[in-house]
């Protein structure tokens, strides 16, 4: 009995030793700040004078008076519906294409993958240049063939489509994931379908799609979660297009043009670090947390069904 | 037209000829699509490159091709005050951050893959939850912690130190890979008198090299690309800026000069792309590991 208990104790100690970096990390960098954020969401605190209790005032302010909150939520919905959908469809299309290419497959794979690696700030600045309405190459080309030349990042109606193009340019991650799953589809199923007289579309519809549907779901859910984190690209695009960048200390009101590029993470920065409204920033952070966790729960369920986790 | 050709040894039957023609048309169709797609992915790089080498005056026009090639633009950017410091800071953040992440995350991933203990599923769920968490959710208290209590704002340490306490994504990825290593190897080593830690270092780590390489690359890139972190902690002190953060101020300093801005953009993209060519395999493996293979 004693030896069994002793063995159990050594094992517990061993487990704790192996897990210790994570235990400290999750407590100090996740659980503590999460609880603290809940606390600050009920406090009036500017970072300098001591915090005072205000009840639901911060929540009320964010939901009813803060002019950026609802536009940011609407933009997020737009991005989920349009950007995530297009990324999944385009990623699947490019993945399919690359599995069919026979000549120069290595070149095409690298060419399609590389943009994904471009650092987000660099890629966004590059697109701000490519799409700038005055001298950008895209509008030069559109103009020379007589097509309309949109204002892209300078036009509230075109800024999100421009961000979507940037997101499609960096499709490499989804391409690789879809490519791997397409190659895993059993070849016999295609042959059997062909013998039954199925055309290309029917083979895709009745063989390919059912086989890769877990991956499609995975791509959609992680896409939605990435949208909740969407920060650098809309912020930098707005800054560059508006011309308001000038090193440290310069204040940029996010969302240019006309709140069309606002996303929730930007609001945390805007309230917390530009307006010194710690309470309001905490409310946004908790809304963001709730949204991210709802979709993460979806993800975990779909993963445990595939016995990944 | 009922004339039928006498089949000679070299001509194919009509059916085979149709099949060959279909295959050829299919080849043409697929490769035209691939070329069109390649243009979409490659042309932005081409335009960045061409503009980066234009003269100041020409960069203000709608021209696509440089009249004269100004390679000195790259040097001008390189010699911009601060640029070299941003390089050094980025390498410090990415290099040290990656090393610390691996050191702290490997034992945790190993424990989650090998040991059974009460609460393991809770740990796993928390790992996945923190992996999906937008960093902005906890930034307010974290900033107060680093700036007001530890007085470390204006440095990159608030970004580097947490990596000594694991990174959720790395733990998850490593665990997924470690699950695929048969338990027998570790058991055999233990029979030979190895402790659990020794078995991890001697047996498991050498077998996990591809996954470790992939995780290291991802973490290096995460640090290299990070914009939000340096914006929060380093913005007040240009001596602590990284390339991703400093790049933007470049546009501010050279307000109208798209050529210099694009030259700087090119210089920030280049190391990542060069690294990719050296480590292509590890990358692709890493991406497929992220949640597909299971």
Q: Give B1→chain A minimum CA distance, Å.
A: 30
Q: Could you write out the DSSP letters of every residue in B190-257?
A: HHTT--HHHHIIIIIHHHTHHHHHHHHHHHHHHHHH--HHHHHHTTT-GGG--HHHHHHHHHHHTTT-
What is the length of chain B? 294
pLDDT in tens, B175-198: 988 988 888 888 887 777 778 888
Among chain B residues, the shortest Cα distance to A213 is held by B292
Check: CB of residue B67 under 8 Å from CB of residue B45: no
- What is the residue extent of each domain of chain B? 20-73, 81-289
Which chain A residues touch B130 with a CB distance below 8 Å? 26, 30
Q: Could you write out the DSSP letters of every residue in A272-302?
A: IIIS--HHHHHHHHHHHHHHHHHHHHHHHHH
- Local confidence band at A243 (pLDDT 50, 70, 90 cut-offs): confident
From the list A274, A255, A292, A273, the residue with the least C-alpha distance to A74 is: A255
Residue A122 and residue B135: Cβ atoms within 8 Å? no
Domains of chain A plus CATH, in order, are 71-232 (1.10.3720.10)
- Which ipTM did the prediction report? 0.92
Which pLDDT does position A246 carry in this prediction? 52
pLDDT in tens, A73-105: 999 999 999 999 999 999 999 999 999 998 999
End-to-end Cα, chain B, rounded Å: 60
- Local confidence band at A216 (pLDDT 50, 70, 90 cut-offs): very high
For residue A193, how far is the Cα from the chain centroid? 37
CATH architecture of B81-289: Orthogonal Bundle (1.10)
| Integer Cα distance of B174 and B109 in angstroms | 6
| Integer Cα distance of B244 and B226 in angstroms | 7
pLDDT in tens, A127-181: 999 999 988 999 999 999 999 999 999 999 999 999 999 999 999 999 999 998 9
Torsion of CA B284, B290, B291, B294, to 10 degrees: 70
Among chain A residues, the shortest Cα distance to B170 is held by A22
pLDDT in tens, A35-49: 999 999 999 999 889
| Integer Cα distance of B111 and A102 in angstroms | 44
| Integer Cα distance of A96 and A92 in angstroms | 6
| Integer Cα distance of A132 and A134 in angstroms | 6
Which pLDDT does position A248 carry in this prediction? 46
Lowest mean pLDDT among A157-161, B52-56, B251-255: B251-255
Q: Give B6→chain A minimum CA distance, Å.
A: 31
Residue B290 and residue A177: Cβ atoms within 8 Å? yes
- Cα diameter, chain B: 95
Which pLDDT does position B292 carry in this prediction? 46
Q: Give A145→chain B minimum CA distance, Å.
A: 14
Check: CB of residue B197 under 8 Å from CB of residue A20: no
User: Strands, DSSP E only, in chain A?
Assistant: 43-44, 52-53
Check: CB of residue A264 under 8 Å from CB of residue A288: yes
Among chain B residues, the shortest Cα distance to A27 is held by B165
B41 closest CB neighbour out of A115, A125, A300 = A115
**DSSP SS3 for A44:** strand
């Amino acid at each position: 009995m004693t030896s069994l208990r002793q063995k159990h104790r050594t094992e517990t100690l061993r487990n704790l030793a192996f897990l210790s970096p994570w235990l400290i990390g999750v407590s100090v960098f996740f659980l503590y700040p999460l609880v603290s954020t809940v606390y600050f969401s009920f406090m009036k605190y500017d970072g300098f004078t001591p915090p005072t209790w205000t009840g639901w005032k911060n929540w009320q302010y964010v939901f009813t008076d803060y002019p950026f909150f609802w536009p940011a939520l609407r933009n997020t919905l737009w991005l989920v519906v349009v950007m995530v959908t297009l990324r999944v469809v385009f990623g699947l299309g490019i993945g399919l294409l690359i599995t069919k290419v026979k000549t120069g497959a290595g070149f095409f794979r690298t060419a399609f993958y590389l943009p994904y690696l471009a650092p987000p700030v660099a890629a966004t600045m590059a697109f701000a240049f490519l799409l700038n309405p005055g001298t950008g190459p895209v509008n030069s080309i559109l103009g020379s063939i007589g097509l309309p030349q949109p204002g892209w990042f300078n036009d509230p109606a075109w800024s999100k489509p421009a961000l979507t193009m940037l997101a499609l340019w960096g499709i490499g991650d989804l391409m690789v994931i879809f490519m791997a799953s397409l190659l895993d589809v059993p070849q016999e199923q295609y042959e059997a379908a062909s013998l039954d007289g199925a055309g290309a579309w029917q083979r895709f519809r009745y063989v390919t799609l059912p086989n890769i549907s877990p991956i499609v779901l995975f791509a959609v859910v992680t896409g939605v979660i990435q949208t909740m984190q969407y920060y650098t690209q809309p912020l930098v695009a707005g800054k560059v297009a508006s011309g308001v960048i000038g090193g440290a200390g310069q204040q940029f009101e996010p969302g240019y043009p006309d709140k069309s590029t606002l996303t929730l993470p930007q609001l945390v920065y805007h309230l917390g670090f530009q307006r010194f409204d710690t309470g309001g920033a905490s409310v946004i952070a908790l809304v963001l947390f709730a949204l991210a966790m709802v979709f993460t729960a979806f993800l975990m369920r779909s993963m445990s069904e595939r016995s990944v986790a | 037209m009922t004339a039928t050709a006498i089949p000679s040894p070299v001509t194919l039957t009509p059916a085979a000829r149709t099949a060959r023609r279909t295959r050829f048309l299919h080849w043409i169709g697929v490769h035209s699509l691939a070329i069109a797609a390649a243009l979409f992915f490659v042309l932005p790089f081409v335009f960045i490159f061409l503009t980066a080498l234009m003269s100041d005056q020409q960069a203000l026009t709608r021209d696509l091709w440089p009249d004269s090639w100004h390679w000195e633009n790259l040097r001008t950017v390189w010699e911009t005050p601060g640029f070299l410091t941003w390089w050094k800071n980025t390498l410090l953040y990415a290099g040290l951050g990656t090393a610390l992440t691996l050191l702290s995350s490997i034992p945790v991933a190993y424990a989650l893959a090998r040991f059974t203990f009460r609460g393991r599923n809770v740990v796993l769920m928390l790992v996945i939850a923190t992996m999906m968490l937008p960093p902005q959710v906890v930034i307010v208290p974290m900033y107060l912690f680093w700036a007001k209590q530890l007085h470390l704002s204006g440095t990159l340490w608030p970004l580097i130190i947490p990596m000594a306490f694991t990174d959720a994504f790395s733990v998850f990825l490593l665990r997924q890979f470690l699950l695929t290593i048969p338990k027998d190897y570790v058991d055999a080593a233990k029979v030979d008198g190895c402790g659990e830690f020794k078995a991890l270092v001697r047996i498991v780590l050498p077998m996990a090299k591809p996954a470790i390489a992939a995780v290291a690359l991802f973490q290096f890139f995460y640090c290299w690309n990070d914009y939000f972190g340096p914006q929060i902690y380093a913005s007040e002190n240009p001596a602590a800026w990284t390339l991703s953060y400093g790049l933007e101020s470049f546009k501010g300093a050279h307000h109208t000069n798209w050529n210099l801005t694009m030259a700087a953009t090119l210089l920030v993209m280049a190391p990542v792309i060069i690294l990719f060519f050296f480590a292509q395999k590890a990358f692709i493996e890493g991406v497929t590991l992220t949640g597909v293979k299971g």
